[in-house]
Amino acid sequence: MSKGSFLTASVGRKFLMSLTGLFLIMFLLVHMSINLLLIFDDSGDLFNIAAHFMATNPLIKIIEPVLALRFVIHILWSVLITLQNIKARPVKYLQSQQGINSTWASRNMFILGAMLFIYIGIHLYNFWWKMKFAGDPLLEHITVMQAGAPVEMENAYALVSNLFKESLVYDLIYIAGGILLGLHVSHGFWSAFQTIGLNNVVWRKRLFVLANIIGIIFALGFSVIPLYFLIKF
């Protein structure tokens, strides 16, 4: 099978979908780890240092557009696969059969993805767009001691923490977004390795358990941040 025919075939599209999904899971793990600094240091210094590193490191600046491209590819491929599945199966399975053969997340992966797309759009507008382009008074430069030396940087902590402290609506949105992300990642992780070829009886069970654990970690990791500010402040 040629490269072109592989990518246009169903198995090729699912394989590419799996690879982009696993790549995005690794990015989300790094992103979550940095965001969790918000709840371990109320001074904001740790988060500001990490955000400053991500914004100024030359390697990160190269990786960022690659991540954006992978994200776009992941979305487009998911839409394409969903549309082709609908076309291939015009008659829906009975709900009872679906419940037996698959999880709720797997049956509603496209809906979860669409909801996550809205959540990510809100997230990008509230933080990434302001940090990169629009600016915000809360992002005024501050001086933080780093390795014994003063470093000037934007107060990213003030921007993020203020939103969670002041808006119950956004707290609930981000908590819901964390849960949705956990569900999406849980099925996506298991499905990706199944597509790659680890689909025998032994590995299927192990990956299913591991996928659930990873999904719970992501759900808790992202939702605990707004919950922390909601309860403490």
Range of the domain at 105: 3-232
At 96, which CATH number?
A: 1.20.1300.10
Taking the whole predicted model, whether its pTM rises above 0.85 is answered as: no
Domain count, the chain: 1
Residue 84 has pLDDT above 80, yes or no: no
Instruction: State the pLDDT at residue 90.
Output: 54
User: What HEC string does the chain produce?
Assistant: CCHHHHHHCHHHHHHHHHHHHHHHHHHHHHHHHHHHHHHCCCCCHHHHHHHHHHHHCHHHHHHHHHHHHHHHHHHHHHHHHHHHHHHHCCCCCCHHHHHHHCCHHHHCHHHHHHHHHHHHHHHHHHHHHHHHHHCCHHHCEEEEEECCEEEEEECHHHHHHHHHHHCHHHHHHHHHHHHHHHHHHHHHHHHHHHHHCCCCHHHHHHHHHHHHHHHHHHHHHHHHHHHHHHHHC
pLDDT confidence of residue 130:
95
pLDDT digits (tens, 9 = 90+) for 7-52: 555 566 667 677 777 888 888 999 999 999 999 999 999 999 999 9
What pLDDT was estimated at residue 93?
45
Q: What is the pLDDT of residues 178-215, one digit of tens each?
A: 999 999 888 888 877 777 666 667 777 888 899 999 99
The answer, yes or no, to whether residue 134 has pLDDT greater than 80, is: yes
29 vs 83, more confident: 29
pLDDT at 94: 45
Percent of the chain with pLDDT over 90: 48
Per-residue confidence (pLDDT) for residue 190, from 0 to 100: 80
